[in-house]
């Protein structure tokens, strides 16, 4: 006991030790192994050997550029769409929700509780070629008579947007909810226009939530493969599909790992830039 | 947001308290788990284990047996909750059957099972039913055990044509489950007519409404046949390139909705897809979902192969062999065939099935005549394992 | 605090402006409702089709109403086993991740120490990293070490990604925690242990529970990371994926609805409990 009296500085480290050790063992170390595997060559038949196989990377870059770019594109569009939908929605709940705030918030979180796969399969059903939705859109002229919604980029992007919407909405809500409405009132007094008050006061104050939401949406979306698999054609294949197939079906571990490393590197770069700008406390606080 | 730590002085300080909590937490981290399981050496240094298994195993039936098979491959009720022949097996032998329909495509399945098998570990399965070329690969890698033929007297019922494949001449390691035909499954109403050739699938009117199989031997095989090339012999790389290019163009044009394993059945049943490269028996099973569906073998020829029962490392040889024997009884085989409507490897099934389903006896898809068999080809086994061919194919299907 | 026109002497009270404000006010509501409907649409479809009586294997078109699937939700073979496995994994992973995560959260909130930034970063990255990278890297770890893939590798994977979520949730709660209450208890003569048990723990309990609930639902739902590390073991999401290839039985919809229902109920309960404990409405 007196040990800690004299060495009180140890306490935080002791508290951290088990959790951090676990993360180091099962998050950091695997990343090392990912890199290690990415430099291996071989197949199941002959075994895998570590040979500093940098051509795994060069091949990955050249062969799958299209899928990489597509992943970033889809994720980007989905993030923007999620933002466009979430912002007004969370604004509405935060400022007009009143007593019903938490209930309405529940609606945003609710989809999260239905298994990801089941919700995406439901979209397969909803967007079916001769289903109700397509019929309505054809009647409205939004979809051509021999067109379809399923198995298109539209469906994939829509799926990604839907599935990651809560990740955009929740941080936004938290940020908006913390804004003191009296500030907005005051702004309206000063600027005599709701729009200006919004632009000059609300928007900047919600920035941290906006940025957190963007990050939390874009990054996982870039690595997604389920939406592309269930709602798209091979022309919509994202880098996640390639990685999944190479690991689990083709068992070309070297190249699969190289692709994962590239994806992770791009993402770490983005996170590093963001945290530089904002500081990690804001992110996780 | 940061609260400076404030100390309270008393008989026991907060630090002591928190230290206790920390110690409690520390015991929960378990790096030792890593060491506890699995073999040695990891994926590096994996060599093909030399042939496994001999037949000096105890001849005792296990309590249960686990089987991995393709979907729609055994008689069952409408929503796949009960399997009459399996129940019969359990009644006769007392062995409970865990029947899993978890093989969707050979490549996928191999990806799942290869890691433990390569380390000499079992995969919790007593019988798996890969297609012949994958069974051959598994055998060459040493992942299979020998059958206990003393438990399989019915092996005499094996059709002569299937008795001696190149990769397992004495059927020491394998027994066929069903043979299948790959052709085109389609809805004539939606397509607007009959389909007699895979070329018709490339008709722009069907853009985005067709699927093809993700197995090289099925899709490329059919296109090679269309080109007049025999895929069971040696395959000229230029011919292969041409076939691949055709499929690639269809992908680029958005003609092909997706490459599927057994999962073409859903979209076909649903009507999202109007025509698919398909396996014969599946289409008939989809009738309740979509009565319009038809199956046809293209005029240029269809592909065929045999899905084969094998016993992987860790499986119970005697119980598995007993299971295989059970299904080589013509009466039982007839029950299975009546439902799945694939081609049975068991002699005497035709006669047995006349009593229950006489119309099937005449069905060329279920009991093909010798002329019909002439038009069916099995893809050259070496070509399937050709790495260049594999790479080209993978590039086409989008990985 | 609404922003409808107030009877204060302001210079923007023209009829046009106020009408515009009224329309805009309701546009927002209209949009909000539409957005919520959009969010709920697939869920409604899932629930509705759990009552469907499909003609064959595929549950795509409405054929007729039946309660059969609800009376025998574990009819399809192995669905029950998969669900059991999922629940077992989730329980173990939740307990371990909650304990580890709470400890980390407490350290982060209450102490200054070197390496704080690095710790924050380490907690943050798993939250945002794509699941496929997390799953794939774990797979390479297990492959290179020769570990058998199965139940325990799934559990380890789940604990890994749950810790960060627990930390963030508990930390949010801890940050708002008023230390003076602890001081007051100490002043009244309570020792450290009693203070912790009787004062601190009950007050942060909702946060810990929220973290645990989050971890549990993440674990039950996880597909990507699990698919990389499960070998031949099947959890509920893996079962659904495999079933999607040959016809998803309506019982899957039933189970999905049940999980959804339980989660909602638990969340509501947690929220209500918080309200009871802090009637001033801290939320």
Check CB contact of B58 with chain A, cutoff 8 Å. Answer: no
Mutation to test the B interface, candidates C54, C57, C79, most B Cβ within 10 Å: C57
Determine, for residues B399 and A237 on separate chains, whether the beta-carbon distance falls below 8 Å: yes
CB C204 within 8 A of CB C250: no
Check CB contact of B394 with chain A, cutoff 8 Å. Answer: yes
Q: What are phi and psi of B228, to 5 degrees?
A: 85, 10
Across chain A, what does the average pLDDT equal?
Answer: 85
Q: What are phi and psi of A21, to 5 degrees?
A: -60, -45
Task: Estimate to the nearest angstrom the gap between the alpha carbon of A58 and the chain centroid.
Answer: 27
Residues in chain B closer than 8 A to C245 (CB atoms) = 71, 104, 261-263, 266
Residues in chain C closer than 8 A to A26 (CB atoms) = 138, 141, 156-157, 159-160
C5 CB neighbour count, 10 Å cutoff: 14
Residue B41 pLDDT: 37
Q: Between chain A and chain B, how many beta carbons pairs sit less than 8 Å apart?
A: 127
| B276, B147: one domain | no
| B267, B309: one domain | no
| B247, B121: one domain | no
**What are the tens digits of pLDDT across the range A205-262?**
888 888 889 988 999 999 999 999 889 888 889 999 999 988 888 888 888 999 999 9
CATH superfamily placement of domain A64-284:
MetI-like (1.10.3720.10)
Pull the structure tokens for residue B159. 């059709």
Q: For residue C30, give every residue at least 6 positions away whose Cβ sits within 8 Å of its Cβ, in sequence order, or none.
A: none
- Of C94, C73, C127, whose CA–CA distance to C236 is shortest? C73
Domain with CATH 1.10.3720.10 in chain A: 64-284
Determine, for residues B107 and A250 on separate chains, whether the beta-carbon distance falls below 8 Å: yes
Determine, for residues B81 and C191 on separate chains, whether the beta-carbon distance falls below 8 Å: no
C-alpha separations of B158 from A178, B161, B293, B349 in Å: 76, 8, 32, 11
Q: Which of residues 170-189 of A touch B (CB under 8 A)?
A: none
In the block, tokens 């604990």 appear at: C159
| B127, B232: one domain | no
In the block, tokens 């067709």 appear at: B210
B359/chain A closest Cα distance in angstroms:
34
Q: What are phi and psi of B179, to 5 degrees?
A: -100, 155
| B63, B109: one domain | yes
A144/chain C closest Cα distance in angstroms:
23
CB A168 within 8 A of CB A220: no
Total residues found in chain C within this entry: 283
Check CB contact of A32 with chain B, cutoff 8 Å. Answer: no
In the block, tokens 């089987």 appear at: B67
> What string of pLDDT tens digits covers the 399 residues of chain B?
333 333 333 343 344 434 444 433 333 333 333 333 333 334 443 433 434 444 455 688 899 999 999 988 998 876 667 889 999 999 999 999 988 888 888 988 988 888 888 888 888 899 999 999 999 999 999 999 999 999 999 999 999 989 999 899 999 999 999 999 999 999 999 998 899 999 999 999 998 899 999 999 999 999 999 999 999 888 999 999 999 999 999 998 889 998 988 889 888 888 889 999 999 888 888 877 788 999 999 999 999 999 999 999 999 999 999 999 999 999 999 999 998 999 999 999 999 998 888 888 888 888 988 888 889 999 988 888 888 898 889 888 876
Task: Estimate to the nearest angstrom the gap between the alpha carbon of A82 and the chain centroid.
Answer: 11
The DSSP result for C150-185, as a single string, is SHHHHHHHHHHHHHHHHHHHHHHHHHT--HHHHHHH
Check CB contact of B399 with chain A, cutoff 8 Å. Answer: yes
Residues in chain C closer than 8 A to A215 (CB atoms) = 128
| B165, B213: one domain | no
Residues in chain A closer than 8 A to C63 (CB atoms) = none
CB A67 within 8 A of CB A260: no
Identify which has the larger pLDDT, C57 or A22. A22
| HSE-up (13 A, CA, CB side) for residue C93 | 33
A17: nearest CB among B26, B45, B118: B26
Question: ipTM score here?
Answer: 0.84
Determine, for residues A24 and C240 on separate chains, whether the beta-carbon distance falls below 8 Å: no
CB B221 within 8 A of CB B298: no
| B283, B308: one domain | no
Domain boundaries of chain C, sorted by first residue: 15-69, 77-248
Q: If DSSP codes are grouped into helix, strand and coil, which group holds residue C39?
A: helix
Residue A260 pLDDT: 93
Determine, for residues A151 and B45 on separate chains, whether the beta-carbon distance falls below 8 Å: no
A118: nearest CB among C39, C128, C240: C240
User: What is d(CA B247, CA B260) in angstroms, rounded to the nearest whole number?
Assistant: 14
Identify which has the larger pLDDT, A269 or A221. A221
Let me know the angle formed at the C-alpha of C73 by B80 and A103, rounded to the nearest 5 degrees.
135
Pairing of strands B256-260, A47-50: unpaired
- Of B250, B253, B274, whose CA–CA distance to B264 is shortest? B274
Q: For residue A4, give every residue at least 6 positions away whose Cβ sits within 8 Å of its Cβ, in sequence order, or none.
A: A10, A11, B13, B15, B16, B19
Angle, nearest 10°, between helix axes A116-126 and C250-277? Answer: 120
| B195, B116: one domain | no
Determine, for residues B398 and A150 on separate chains, whether the beta-carbon distance falls below 8 Å: no
Confidence of residue A284 (pLDDT cuts 50, 70, 90): very low
Check CB contact of B254 with chain A, cutoff 8 Å. Answer: yes
Residues in chain C closer than 8 A to A220 (CB atoms) = 128-131
Determine, for residues B21 and A15 on separate chains, whether the beta-carbon distance falls below 8 Å: yes
| B316, B172: one domain | yes
CATH number, domain of B232, equals: 3.40.190.10
Check CB contact of A66 with chain B, cutoff 8 Å. Answer: no
Question: Partners for B (CB, 8 Å, 3+ pairs)?
Answer: A, C
- Of A242, A272, A235, A238, whose CA–CA distance to A257 is shortest? A242
B22, part of any domain: no
Pull the structure tokens for residue C102. 């709470």
Structural domain containing residue B338 = 31-179+304-368
Residues in chain A closer than 8 A to C126 (CB atoms) = 23, 27
The nearest alpha carbon in chain B to A284 belongs to: B1
Mutation to test the C interface, candidates A7, A10, A15, A281, most C Cβ within 10 Å: A15
CB B132 within 8 A of CB B138: no
The DSSP symbol for C147 reads P
Total residues found in chain B within this entry: 399
CB A26 within 8 A of CB C159: yes
The nearest alpha carbon in chain A to C121 belongs to: A280
Pull the structure tokens for residue B138. 């598994």
Total residues found in chain A within this entry: 285
Check CB contact of A75 with chain B, cutoff 8 Å. Answer: no
Residue C225 pLDDT: 94
Residue B14 pLDDT: 42
Residue B2 pLDDT: 34
Confidence of residue A4 (pLDDT cuts 50, 70, 90): low
C22 CB neighbour count, 10 Å cutoff: 12
Determine, for residues A12 and C111 on separate chains, whether the beta-carbon distance falls below 8 Å: yes
A47: nearest CB among B21, B47, B112: B47
Q: For residue C219, give every residue at least 6 positions away whose Cβ sits within 8 Å of its Cβ, in sequence order, or none.
A: C86, C89, C90, C93, C94, C158, C162
User: What is d(CA B279, CA B295) in angstroms, rounded to the nearest whole number?
Assistant: 8
| B174, B189: one domain | no
Q: Give the total number of structural domains in chain B.
A: 2
Residue A279 pLDDT: 60
Residue C147 pLDDT: 85
A22: nearest CB among C134, C163, C283: C163
Q: For residue B292, give every residue at least 6 positions away whose Cβ sits within 8 Å of its Cβ, in sequence order, or none.
A: B187, B188, B189, B190
Pull the structure tokens for residue B377. 């080809």
Determine, for residues B251 and A148 on separate chains, whether the beta-carbon distance falls below 8 Å: no
User: What is d(CA B230, CA B221) in angstroms, rounded to the nearest whole number?
Assistant: 8
For every residue of chain B, which 3-state class applies, written as one string?
A: CCCCCCCCCCCCCHHHHHHHHHHHHHCCCCCHHHHHCCCCCCCECCCCCCCCCCCCCCCCCCCEEEEECCCCCCCCCCCCCCCHHHHHHHHHHCCEEEEECCCCCHHHHHHHHHHHHHCCCCCCCCEECCEHHHHHHHHHCCCEECCCHHHCHHHHHECHHHCCCCCCCCCCCEEEEEEEEEEEEECHHHHCCCCCCHHHHHCHHHCCCEEEECCHHHHHHHHHHHCCCCCCCCCCHHHHHHHHHHHHHHHHCCCEEEEECHHHHHHHHHCCCCEEEEEHHHHHHCCCCCCCCEEECCCCCEEEEEEEEEEECCCCHHHHHHHHHHHCCHHHHHHHHHHHCCECCECCHHHHHHHHCHHHHCCCCCCCCHHHHHCEECCCHHHHHCHHHHHHHHHHCCC
B100: nearest CB among C58, C78, C195: C78
B343, part of any domain: yes
B79: nearest CB among C106, C193, C249: C249
pLDDT (mean) for A66-75: 91
Q: What's the Rg (C-alpha) of chain C?
A: 24
User: What is d(CA B257, CA C231) in angstroms, rounded to the nearest whole number?
Assistant: 30
B29: nearest CB among A11, A21, A37: A21
Check CB contact of A29 with chain B, cutoff 8 Å. Answer: no
The DSSP result for chain A, as a single string, is -HHHHHTTTHHHHHHHHHHHHHHIIIIIHHHHHHHHHHTEEEETTTEEEE---THHHHHHHHHSHHHHHHHHHHHHHHHHHHHHHHHHHHHHHHHH-GGGHHHHHHHHHGGGGS-HHHHHHHHHHHT-TTSHHHHHHHHTTSS-TT--STTSHHHHHHHHHHHHHHHHHHHHHHHHHTS-HHHHHHHHHHHS-HHHHIIIIIHHHHHHHHHHHHHHHHHHHHT--HHHHHH--GGG--HHHHHHHHHHTS--HHHHHHHHHHHHHHHHHHHHHHHHHH-HHHHH-
User: What class has domain C77-248?
Assistant: mainly alpha
CA dihedral C62, C81, C220, A116 (to 10 degrees): -30
Residue B79 pLDDT: 64
The nearest alpha carbon in chain A to C261 belongs to: A113
CB A254 within 8 A of CB A50: no
Q: Which residues of chain C have pLDDT under 50?
A: 1, 281-283
| HSE-up (13 A, CA, CB side) for residue A8 | 14
Check CB contact of A98 with chain B, cutoff 8 Å. Answer: no
| B311, B393: one domain | no
Question: Partners for A (CB, 8 Å, 3+ pairs)?
Answer: B, C
CB A176 within 8 A of CB A94: yes
Q: For residue C11, give every residue at least 6 positions away whose Cβ sits within 8 Å of its Cβ, in sequence order, or none.
A: A192
Check CB contact of B43 with chain A, cutoff 8 Å. Answer: yes
| B222, B157: one domain | no
Pairing of strands B275-279, B210-213: parallel
Determine, for residues A233 and B257 on separate chains, whether the beta-carbon distance falls below 8 Å: yes
The nearest alpha carbon in chain A to C173 belongs to: A285
The DSSP symbol for C56 reads S
Let me know the angle formed at the C-alpha of A126 by A120 and A129, rounded to the nearest 5 degrees.
115
Determine, for residues B16 and C192 on separate chains, whether the beta-carbon distance falls below 8 Å: yes
Determine, for residues C103 and B119 on separate chains, whether the beta-carbon distance falls below 8 Å: no
Residue A150 pLDDT: 84
- Of A77, A60, A4, whose CA–CA distance to A255 is shortest? A60
Q: Between chain A and chain C, how many beta carbons pairs sit less than 8 Å apart?
A: 273
The nearest alpha carbon in chain A to C238 belongs to: A117
A20: nearest CB among C104, C136, C256: C104
């Amino acid at each position: 006991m007196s040990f800690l009296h004299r060495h009180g500085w140890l306490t935080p480290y002791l508290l951290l030790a088990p959790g951090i050790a676990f993360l180091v063992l099962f998050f950091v170390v695997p990343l090392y192994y990912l890199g290690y595997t990415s430099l291996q060559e071989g197949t199941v038949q002959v075994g895998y050997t570590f040979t500093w196989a940098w051509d795994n990377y060069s091949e990955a870059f050249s062969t799958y550029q299209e899928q990489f770019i597509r992943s970033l594109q889809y994720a980007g569009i989905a993030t923007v769409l999620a933002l466009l939908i979430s912002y007004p929605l969370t604004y509405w709940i935060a400022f007009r929700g009143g007593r019903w705030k938490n209930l309405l918030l529940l609606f945003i979180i609710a989809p999260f509780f239905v298994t990801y796969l089941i919700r995406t399969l439901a979209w397969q059903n909803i967007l079916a070629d001769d289903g109700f939705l397509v019929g309505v859109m054809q009647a409205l002229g939004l979809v051509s008579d021999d067109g379809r919604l399923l198995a298109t980029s539209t469906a994939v992007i829509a799926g990604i947007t839907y599935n990651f919407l809560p990740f955009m909405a929740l941080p936004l809500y938290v940020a908006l909810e913390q804004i003191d409405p009296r500030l907005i009132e005051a702004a309206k007094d000063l600027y005599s226009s709701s729009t200006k008050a919004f632009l000059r006061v609300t928007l900047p104050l919600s920035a941290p939530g906006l940025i957190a939401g963007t990050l939390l949406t874009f990054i996982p979306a870039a690595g997604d493969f389920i939406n592309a698999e269930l709602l798209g054609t091979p022309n919509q294949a994202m880098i996640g599909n390639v990685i999944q197939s190479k690991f689990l079906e083709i068992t070309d571990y070297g190249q699969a790992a190289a692709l994962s490393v590239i994806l992770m590197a791009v993402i770490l770069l983005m996170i590093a830039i963001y945290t530089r700008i904002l500081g990690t406390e804001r992110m996780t606080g | 947001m940061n609260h400076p730590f404030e100390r309270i002085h008393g008989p026991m300080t907060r630090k002591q308290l928190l230290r206790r909590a920390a110690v409690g937490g520390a015991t929960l981290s378990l790096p030792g788990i890593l060491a506890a399981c699995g073999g040695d050496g990891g994926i590096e240094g994996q060599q093909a284990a030399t042939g496994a298994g001999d037949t000096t195993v105890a001849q005792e039936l296990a309590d249960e047996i686990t089987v991995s098979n393709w979907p729609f491959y055994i008689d069952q009720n409408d929503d796949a909750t009960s399997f009459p022949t399996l129940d019969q097996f359990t009644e006769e032998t007392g062995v409970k059957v865990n029947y899993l329909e978890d093989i969707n495509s050979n490549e996928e399945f191999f990806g799942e099972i290869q890691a433990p098998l390569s380390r000499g570990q079992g995969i919790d399965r007593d019988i798996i039913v890969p297609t012949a070329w994958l069974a051959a690969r598994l055998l060459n890698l040493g992942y299979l055990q020998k059958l206990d033929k003393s438990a399989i007297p019915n092996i005499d019922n094996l059709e002569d044509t299937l008795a001696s494949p190149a990769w397992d001449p004495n059927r020491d390691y394998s027994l066929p489950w069903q043979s299948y035909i790959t052709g085109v499954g389609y809805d004539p109403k939606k397509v607007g007519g009959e389909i007699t050739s895979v070329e018709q699938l490339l008709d722009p009117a069907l853009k985005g409404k067709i699927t093809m199989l993700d197995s090289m031997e099925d899709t490329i095989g059919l296109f090679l046949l269309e080109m007049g090339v025999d895929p069971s012999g040696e395959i000229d790389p230029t011919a292969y390139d041409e076939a691949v290019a055709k499929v690639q163009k269809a992908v680029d044009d958005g003609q092909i909705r997706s490459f599927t394993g057994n999962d073409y059945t859903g979209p076909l049943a649903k009507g999202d897809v109007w025509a698919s490269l398909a396996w014969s028996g599946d289409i008939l099973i989809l009738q309740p979902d979509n009565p319009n569906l038809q199956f046809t073998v293209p005029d240029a020829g269809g592909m065929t192969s045999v899905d084969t029962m094998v016993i992987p490392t860790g499986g119970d040889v005697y119980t598995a062999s007993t299971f295989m024997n059970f299904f080589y009884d013509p009466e039982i085989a007839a029950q299975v065939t009546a439902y799945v409507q694939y081609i049975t490897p068991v002699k005497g099934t035709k006669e047995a099935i006349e009593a229950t389903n006489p119309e099937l006896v005449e069905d060329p898809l279920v009991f093909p005549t010798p002329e019909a068999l002439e038009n069916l080809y099995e893809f050259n086994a070496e070509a399937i394992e050709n790495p260049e061919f594999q790479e080209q194919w993978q590039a086409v299907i989008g990985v | 605090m609404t922003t409808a026109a107030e009877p204060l002497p302001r210079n923007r009270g023209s009829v046009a402006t106020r009408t515009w404000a009224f329309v805009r006010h309701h546009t927002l509501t209209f949009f909000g409702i539409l957005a919520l409907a959009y969010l709920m649409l697939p869920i409604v479809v899932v629930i509705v089709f759990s009552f469907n009586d499909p003609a064959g294997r595929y549950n795509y078109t409405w054929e007729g109403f039946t309660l059969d699937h609800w009376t025998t939700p574990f009819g399809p073979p192995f669905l029950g086993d998969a669900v059991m496995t999922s629940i077992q994994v989730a329980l173990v992973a939740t307990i371990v991740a909650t304990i580890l995560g709470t400890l980390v959260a407490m350290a982060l909130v209450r102490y200054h120490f070197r390496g704080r930034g690095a710790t924050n970063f380490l907690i943050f990255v798993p939250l945002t990293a794509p699941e496929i990278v997390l799953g794939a890297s774990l797979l390479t770890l297990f492959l290179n070490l020769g570990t058998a893939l199965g139940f325990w590798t799934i559990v380890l994977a789940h604990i890994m990604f749950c810790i960060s979520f627990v930390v963030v949730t508990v930390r949010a709660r801890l940050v708002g925690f008023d230390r003076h209450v602890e001081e007051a208890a100490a002043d009244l003569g309570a020792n450290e242990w009693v203070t912790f048990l009787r004062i601190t723990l009950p007050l942060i309990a909702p946060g810990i529970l929220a973290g645990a609930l989050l971890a549990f639902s993440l674990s039950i739902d996880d597909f990507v990371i699990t698919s990389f590390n499960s070998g031949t073991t099947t959890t509920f999401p893996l079962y659904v994926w495999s079933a999607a290839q040959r016809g998803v039985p309506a019982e899957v919809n039933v189970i999905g609805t049940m999980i959804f229902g339980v989660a909602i109920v638990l969340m509501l309960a947690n929220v209500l409990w918080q309200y009871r404990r802090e009637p001033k409405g801290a939320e």
